[in-house]
Structure 1
Amino acid sequence: MTADGQPSRKGFFTDTSVCIGCKACEVACKEWNMVPEDGLDFLASSFDNSGRLGADTWRHVAFIEQREPLGHQDAGVGRPEGGPGPVDVGMPSFELPGQRSAADGAGDFRWLMSSDVCKHCTSAACLDVCPTGAIFRTEFDTVVVQEDICNGCGYCVPACPYGVIDRREVDGRAWKCTLCYDRIGEGLEPACAKACPTDSIQFGDLDELRERADRRVRDLHGAGVSSARLYGEDPDDGVDGAGAFFLLLDEPEVYGLPPDPVVTTRDLPSMWRHAGTAALVLLAGAASAFVGRRS
């Protein structure tokens, strides 16, 4: 609770360095929120079968394979403080077809795994453009779509800088993560965080999560994982900070995340002002021409 008795802002901190790619979060999200089956497409290029976030995939665990020496992931770095036991930062090496074994110094690769989700932006463009009020900000400062009010206009889809929100084919309405609004209102963890076996997905007060994330990055840097960095935690970024942020082990683009997201509606006020000015000028010109013709 805040000093004035209001609920504090809630959010997610996803530590990808301890994600094992089990997809328990995807399953828990679908079961609790009754999200339909999404096809489970075989992509042929990855073990990832859901592919991306969408109307029927509110949590998506990405599998990113990299031809990188295993030293870049420095196995042996422990879990975040309070975790039940040690878990390596990365995945072990495997012998690939046509490659020598990892012991020969060739064929090494690593998997970067990350459970992606709606960012619940501080400045949410999807909310700005919704004409029906179906998208609203909750008392926990999360962003939720009310499916019974959504008219399926789709304005929110291109407005999202992360490509998260999507329309469901069967009814045309927009759907996305609600941060389990029904659960946190009862003092419960979101289903994905509850199901995560490694605490890769952590839920709580956003300020506390940011402090925890800073400590985790410092620990990883101290252990030699210099590539560790935070994404979406900065209140001064292009969306004024996200309610769901991440610890990454590579550049955001590698995970399919925009490096410099911005609120897509940030220029709307100035655009309306310019449009209004132009309309007044045209109206004045038309009036002047009409008066000239009368005289």
Structure 2
Amino acid sequence: MLPDPNSLSGPLDPAPDAGWVDAPPRMGFFTDTSVCIGCKACEVACKEWNDVPGSGLDLLGMSYDNTGALTANSWRHVAFVEQPRPAGHRGPPSAGAATAGRGAGPEFLGMPGAQPPGRAGGAEGRSDFRWLMMSDVCKHCTHAACLDVCPTGALFRTEFGTVVVQEDICNGCGYCISACPYGVIDQRKGDGRAWKCTLCYDRIGAGKTPACAQACPTESIQYGPLDELRERAAARVATLHERGVTEARLYGHDPDDGVGGDGAFFLLLDEPEVYGLPPDPVVTTRDLPRMWKRAGLAALAMAAAAVAAFVGGSS
């Protein structure tokens, strides 16, 4: 069913809206990029648990990123962004800020500006740039355009509010790929079907944590009830601002944005475009009900005109 364009604002629990009775709390991801160390444990754990094929090895020029983007064979993608340190930046937060309320951690973990392996410390160390790292994933949108356009029902909304592709039903039409405002969904070569993150539907259904969050050594990827994650994220941003990291901001948490908020949202240390994210994502199908209504009215008008012309011509 296509979304009502007048209902795309305000909070919505998508599972009951999709027909689930007595649905559990909506579950999701909060990815805190300020404590991501780029280890790619999430990528490996995702591939191992979900039996995702290898992506091959491509160092993409000067980058440490060997996957490049979310694809049918990369359901988690750790982005590496090297940039000059922002003017007026007071320095990285301590590990106390990085792990407050979530257990202690090594003092160097999560420092914005932390050096990649082999580049930190000693005479080789630098302080004029920083690495921004982010483990990207499907956003499991509140208003998911991919669901709207799927002709076979291969995509469905789970009781946890997540969006899953049933590969045995997918016919490879590709409509969902062009409908996704984030460019997440992809077709696998030699297969033709659509593939993406399932938020480990099999694991969370058994009360377990998704593989990527389970494997993350710094708790950059956090899993839990979405309402709790949003509260935790807001507190984290406030802590970073108090410590001078004023560029910290949340992305995808707002239920009043163009997709009704995401089931997987992020704490970023720069503008979304720096991480390859759209600044203002919009449900690509939100205008379809209005368009179909106008098309129907136009068709009725044409039919009425044809009938009038026929009657007028015969009399």
The TM-score bracket by the shorter chain reads: over 0.9
Q: Equivalents in 2 of 1:69, 1:269: separation in Å?
A: 44
Q: Equivalents in 1 of 2:102, 2:230: separation in Å?
A: 16
Cα deviation, 1:103-143, whole Å, max 9, x if unaligned, reads 7xxx7211100000000000000001101100000000000
Indicate how the Cα distance of structure 1 residues 185 and 195 shifts in structure 2: closer, same or farther if over 3 A, else same: same
Query: Residue 76 of structure 2 aligns with which residue?
Result: 59
Q: Shift of residue 39 of structure 1?
A: 2.1
What secondary structure does 1:284 align onto? helix
Answering whether residue 55 of structure 2 is matched by residue 33 of structure 1, we say: no
Q: Which amino acid aligns with 2:286?
A: R
What secondary structure does 1:72 align onto? coil
Contact 1:70 1:110 in 2 (8 A): no
Q: Equivalents in 1 of 2:299, 2:90: separation in Å?
A: 58
Q: What is the identity percentage for the equivalent residue pairs of Structure 1 and Structure 2? A: 69
**More displaced, 145-154 or 87-96?**
87-96
Q: Shift of residue 67 of structure 1?
A: 2.0
Q: Which amino acid aligns with 1:17?
A: S
Cα deviation, 1:275-295, whole Å, max 9, x if unaligned, reads 001101111111111122222
Q: Shift of residue 174 of structure 1?
A: 0.4
Answering whether residue 107 of structure 2 is matched by residue 90 of structure 1, we say: no
Answering whether residue 156 of structure 2 is matched by residue 136 of structure 1, we say: yes
Q: Shift of residue 69 of structure 1?
A: 5.4
Contact 1:18 1:198 in 2 (8 A): yes
Query: Residue 209 of structure 2 aligns with which residue?
Result: 189
Q: Equivalents in 2 of 1:15, 1:233: separation in Å?
A: 12
Q: Which amino acid aligns with 1:89?
A: M
Correspondence 1:1-295 to 2 at 5 A:
6-68=23-85, 72=89, 74-78=91-95, 79-80=98-99, 81-85=101-105, 86=107, 87-92=109-114, 108-295=128-315
- Structure with more contact order per residue of length (Cα contacts < 8 Å, sep ≥ 6): 2
Q: Equivalents in 2 of 1:101, 1:34: separation in Å?
A: 39
What secondary structure does 2:89 align onto? helix
What secondary structure does 1:30 align onto? helix
Aligned length: 287
User: Which blocks of at least 5 consecutive residues in structure 2 are unaligned?
Assistant: 1-14, 16-20
What secondary structure does 2:299 align onto? helix
**More displaced, 72-81 or 221-230?**
72-81
Q: Which amino acid aligns with 1:41?
A: D
Cα deviation, 1:173-203, whole Å, max 9, x if unaligned, reads 0000000000000010000000000000000
What secondary structure does 1:230 align onto? strand
Q: Shift of residue 38 of structure 1?
A: 1.4
RMSD: 2.1
Q: Equivalents in 2 of 1:70, 1:62: separation in Å?
A: 23
Q: Shift of residue 41 of structure 1?
A: 1.7
Contact 2:115 2:131 in 1 (8 A): no
Contact 1:193 1:199 in 2 (8 A): yes
Cα deviation, 1:212-253, whole Å, max 9, x if unaligned, reads 000000000000000000000011111001000000000000
**More displaced, 81-90 or 138-147?**
81-90
Q: Equivalents in 1 of 2:218, 2:241: separation in Å?
A: 20
Q: Shift of residue 101 of structure 1?
A: 7.2
Indicate how the Cα distance of structure 1 residues 225 and 242 shifts in structure 2: closer, same or farther if over 3 A, else same: same
